[in-house]
């Protein structure tokens, strides 16, 4: 599979990036170089191999327990009661590039 300029534009769009013309040219080159190396994975027959998304469901858990029982320890005490301390508004907004004291402010979403 060869990545084209068009693919790069499409993926940049999905990733909420714009990229300059130079960056796009470089990206075509770099992605092809990396994916060329990645293609070696196709040598492996994996149709009977389960995908592994994470480690935490395999190790350090009580294997005699199944499903959600196995992760019961992960329930947070503060969430069980439906109560959870959250940041006060001013703290939550303190890092915002633009805010009005109650809300985050962003440019207009709907054009008239």
Partner 1 sequence: MDLTGLTIDSARSAVAERKTTATALAEAFYAKIEADDPKIGAYLILSKERGLAKASEIDRLAEKGDKLPPLAGMPVGIKDVLVTKGIRTTAGSKILGNYVPPYDCTAVTRLEAAGAVVLGKLNCDEFAMGSSNENSAFKPVHNPRDLSRVPGGSSGGSAAAVAADIAVATLGSDTGGSIRQPASFCGVVGLKPTYGRVSRYGLIAFASSLDHIGPFGKTVKDAAIMLRTIAGRDPMDSTSADVPVPNYVSELDKPVKGMKIGVAKEYFGEGLDAEVRNGVEAAIQRLAKRGCEIVEVSLPHTKYAIPAYYLVATAEASSNLARFDGVRYGFRAKDVRSLSDMYRRTRDQGFGAEVKRRIMLGTYALSAGYYDAYYLKAQRVRTLLTRDFEDAFKRVDVIVAPTSPTAAFKLGEKVDDPLAMYLADIYTVTANLAGIPGISIPVGVTKEKLPIGMQIFGKHFAESTILRVANAYEKAA
What 3-state DSSP class applies to 104?
strand
* Min separation Cβ 58 and partner 1, Å: 8
Would you say 58 or 66 has its CB closer to partner 1?
A: 58
* Min separation Cβ 62 and partner 1, Å: 8
Sorted by sequence, the CB contacts under 8 Å of residue 10 that are 6+ apart come out as: none
Please give the residue ranges that form the binding site for partner 1 (CB under 8 A).
1, 3, 7-8, 10-12, 14-20, 23, 26-27, 30-31, 33-35, 37-42, 44, 46, 49-56, 58-61, 71, 73-74, 76-78, 87, 91-92, 94-98, 104, 106-109, 111
Determine contact, residues 31/39, Cβ cutoff 8 Å. Answer: no
* Min separation Cβ 85 and partner 1, Å: 11
Q: What DSSP line would sit under 64-90, residue for residue?
A: TS-HHHHTGGGS-HHHHTT------HH
Q: Which helix (H) or strand (E) holds 21?
A: helix 21-38
Would you say 83 or 109 has its CB closer to partner 1?
A: 109
* Min separation Cβ 6 and partner 1, Å: 13
Tell how far CA 108 is from the center of its chain.
26
């Amino acid at each position: 599979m060869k990545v084209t300029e068009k693919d790069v534009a499409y993926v940049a769009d999905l990733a909420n990036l714009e990229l300059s013309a130079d960056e796009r040219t470089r990206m075509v080159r770099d992605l092809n170089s990396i994916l060329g190396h990645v293609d070696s994975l196709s040598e492996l027959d994996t149709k009977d191999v389960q995908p592994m998304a994470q480690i935490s469901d395999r190790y350090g858990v009580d294997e005699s327990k199944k499903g959600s029982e196995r992760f019961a320890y992960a329930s947070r005490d503060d969430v069980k009661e439906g109560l959870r301390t959250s940041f006060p508004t001013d703290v939550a907004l303190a890092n915002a590039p633009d805010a009005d004291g109650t809300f985050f402010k962003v440019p207009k979403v709907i054009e008239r």
